[in-house]
Amino acid sequence: MSSITSQSDVLADGREIIYFDDADSTLGPERSADSRDLPDRPATASMRQDPLTGEWISIAAARQSRAFLPPAHLDPLAPQSPTNPSEVPSNYDVAVFENRSPSFGPLLEDDNAPRGLEDLTRIGLGRTRTSVGRCEVVCFSPEHEGSFGSLSRSRARTVIEAWASRTEALSALPGIEQVFPFENRGVEIGVTLHHPHGQIYSYPYVTPRTQRLLASIERYGPTLFADILASEQNSERVVLRGEHWTAFVPFAARWPIEVHLLPHRHVADFAGTTDEERDELSVLYLRLLRGVDALYEAPTPYIAAWHQAPVSIGRDDIRLMLQLTSPRRAADKLKYLAGSEAAMGAWIGDIPPEQTAERVREAIARADQENPV
């Protein structure tokens, strides 16, 4: 069993914070209390239904006041100091806390909560619901700069443990239908903090992307993920393969850089992975990210999206899956979603997936030599 440990505490305004200590942590068990004088939590956002698509749009005005690329001495994710009243009271290895200005949050002031999936799938005009859910920040390290790829193997394993622990806990909350861990990396993606961190969104509905996936499984059959994995493993698009995981550039890649990572057995989410699968992932995922960073001289902007099965439907059919995407199509060029992609959802790929796979494999080999895990 893993020797990674965790403990929960409460911030000054009542939000939860959870500390995860590395297996080889040098920290003691004590954690400082949050002594800040904070205002009450803002009202939870409200979401509105688009009757043209049935999708729900969360209107989270409080996010307008969030920090934007602050200097290191005012890093809100660093451990608190006399001159920096940050969000994390103590030094830490990995810290997870409720977002102060969430897109989805607790039901604080009203009773207009979603009334289950049947309620949310009905189409109507002027429909609103409170954006009930939870948004958490996952601090990968107390360092001011970096990303998941810059972590040690031990720290990467701790973050994976945190993803699994939080997926299990969040999935058990009332009204949560889907849990989504992700990392945004780079100002080109819209990152507002250089601090190495990710987020976990817990939605009150099944996301539009997952609804389309469920429709595809209904048309194809329940073996879709197993068949995709078998097909990709026999292709020239594999970039990494271990005992438990395979990474590949997908056959119909949309983005200039796009890599998917699948477990070899069916598992619905991080909570269902074994210690052995998590151990191997901590190595393969670091190798993949360092390889993607080695494609160009400058660090590669990306979105690392961990797709998980919804809480109450599709769990026997939808498999945990990483979809890593980057808009970088050349050293000094980005792919922008313009007319066809943004307006119609009709994608045009810039680079053949087989060519991307070859370049990623070569970059991983270089990174393995220069910065081995």
- Taking residue 334's Cβ as centre, other Cβ atoms within 10 Å add up to 13
| Residue 96 identity (one-letter amino acid) | V
Q: How far is CA 172 from the centre of its chain?
A: 19
Do residues 189 and 116 touch, judged by C-beta distance below 8 A? Answer: no
- Tell me how far apart the alpha carbons of residues 180 and 309 are, in angstroms, rounded to a whole number: 9
- Residue 327 makes CB contacts below 8 A (sequence gap 6+) with 188, 189, 255, 256, 301, 334, 335, 336
Q: Of 197, 244, 260, 307, which is the active-site residue?
A: 197
- Count of alpha carbons within 13 angstroms of residue 75, beta-carbon side: 20
Helices (DSSP H) in 70-223: which residue ranges?
A: 117-121, 153-171, 208-220
CB 281 within 8 A of CB 152: no
Whether 329 and 335 have beta carbons less than 8 Å apart is answered as yes
What is the DSSP code (8-state) at residue 8? E
Q: From CA 353, how far away is CA 127, in angstroms rounded?
A: 41
Joined tokens for residue 258: 């796009």
- Asked if 197 is an active-site residue, the reply is yes
Task: Please tell me the total number of residues recorded for the chain in this structure.
Answer: 373
Residues 6+ apart with CB under 8 A from 47: 56, 57, 58, 59, 128, 129, 130, 131
DSSP at 108: -
Exposed, middle or buried by CB within 10 Å (0-12, 13-18, 19+), for 12?
middle
Q: Give 25's contacts (C-beta < 8 A, 6+ positions apart).
A: 5, 93
- Is there a contact between 168 and 140 (Cβ–Cβ < 8 Å)? no
What are the catalytic residues? 197
